[in-house]
Amino acid sequence: KQEVTQIPAALSVPEGENLVLNCSFTDSAIYNLQWFRQDPGKGLTSLLLIQSSQREQTSGRLNASLDKSSGRSTLYIAASQPGDSATYLCAVSQAGNMLTFGGGTRLMVKP
Amino acid sequence: KAGVTQTPRYLIKTRGQQVTLSCSPISGHRSVSWYQQTPGQGLQFLFEYFSETQRNKGNFPGRFSGRQFSNSRSEMNVSTLELGDSALYLCASSAGTGAYGYTFGSGTRLTVV
């Protein structure tokens, strides 16, 4: 059974800092890995999708990497801003047309 | 193009009642999946429908059921509500296999009192 773990569970940083969020998964037989952002009480907003054959994806200040063989992904956020404050979730897609989610990292960026 | 639409946004129900939630996927998407999010358990997969057929089901009791219509809209039903069913219910749509990722709706917040 796939298990996804995110470290740290919570993170507080001053504005402008670069930061890295970590995601690990136990079963490397994945189709892809997706990073989401969730604001309190809201739905999930997709940030980046990395296919299993890819090593990284970039969108603006965000860069996600994937090392399928070691079961790890990182989300790098450059020059953090208060508007980046949210919970970040990683999820892996496998056979069965379902996502398995990590517990999330709650990020607070202080002005 | 319109995103994933979930209705209603909020619901308050009494224990023992039943509830139906609705999800309209992105136009052209034929797969709809449902997730339950609670503070204690996080996001858990309920079930997935593709072309009106349930392809996969998570580990939830039979009180949780769903269906999909020919226009790909999906409904989720919970019967005999329990306090523990209070959660944010999210639906996601994809083109089919999830190879191109999933797009989520804003969710329905269900409170059981």
Mutate to test the interface with B, among A36, A44, A46, A106 (most CBs of B within 10 A): A44
A98 vs B: CB within 8 A: yes
Give the pLDDT confidence score for residue B14 in this predicted structure: 98
Residue % of chain A over a pLDDT of 90: 94
Give the pLDDT confidence score for residue B1 in this predicted structure: 61
Q: What's the whole-number mean pLDDT along residues B84-113?
A: 93
Q: What is the mean pLDDT of chain B?
A: 95
Which residue type is seen at B61? P
CA-to-CA distance for B79 and B97, rounded, in angstroms? 29
Q: Quick check: B98 pLDDT over 80?
A: no
A98: part of which helix (H) or strand (E)?
A: strand A98-101
CA-to-CA distance for B101 and A43, rounded, in angstroms? 15
Chain B residues in contact with A43 by the CB 8 A cut-off are 4, 6, 90, 104-107
Residue bearing the bigger pLDDT, A84 or A1: A84
Owner of token pair 């949210």: A86
Residue A97: which of B98, B101, B103 has the nearest Cβ? B98
Among A83-97, B55-69, B73-87, B93-107, where is mean pLDDT lowest? B93-107
Q: What's the whole-number mean pLDDT along residues A77-85?
A: 98
